[in-house]
Amino acid sequence: MLAPLTFALVAALVVLAAMTALSTVRGRPIDNPTFYVGCVVEALIVIQLVVGIVRSGDGDPQMSAGLFIAYLAGLVAVLPVAGFWAIAERESRWGTGVLLVAALGLLVMVARLVQIWNGQG
């Protein structure tokens, strides 16, 4: 994994989580800026997937490559599902709440990816 790419992904996820938390508290549906940040996050996740697959042999010798790639593939699926759900729930505040939970879950998954990369389980 490339550290700058991982830091950029974490930063974008924190921004997305903050935006969706604010929208959820205010009772607002998903808006264009939130959608665009979500698109940036998804693009970074896809780039992380490609880089992670290419560099999967460069990780810790005890790293489970299959588990690492499975986490990468799982990252790609979370945000589109949450995004469609948020759009379907745009009449209520909980659409952005779904995106908030997805962003927080993705942050945990990225932290786990870093652990796997470093051979910690």
Pick the CATH number of 3-118 from 1.20.120, 1.10.3210, 3.40.50, 3.30.70: 1.20.120
Q: Tell me, what's the pLDDT at 39?
A: 96
At 10-50, the pLDDT tens digits run 999 999 999 999 999 998 888 899 999 999 999 999 999 99
Q: DSSP letters along the chain, please?
A: --HHHHHHHHHHHHHHHHHHHHHHHHT----HHHHHHHHHHHHHHHHHHHHHHHTGGGS-TT--HHHHHHHHHHHHHHHHHHHHHHHHTTTSTHHHHHHHHHHHHHHHHHHHHHHHHTT--
At 79-102, the pLDDT tens digits run 999 999 988 988 887 889 999 999
Tell whether the model's pLDDT for residue 121 goes beyond 70.
Answer: no
Across residues 63-82, what is the average pLDDT? 92
Q: Tell me, what's the pLDDT at 63?
A: 84
At 1-10, the pLDDT tens digits run 789 999 999 9
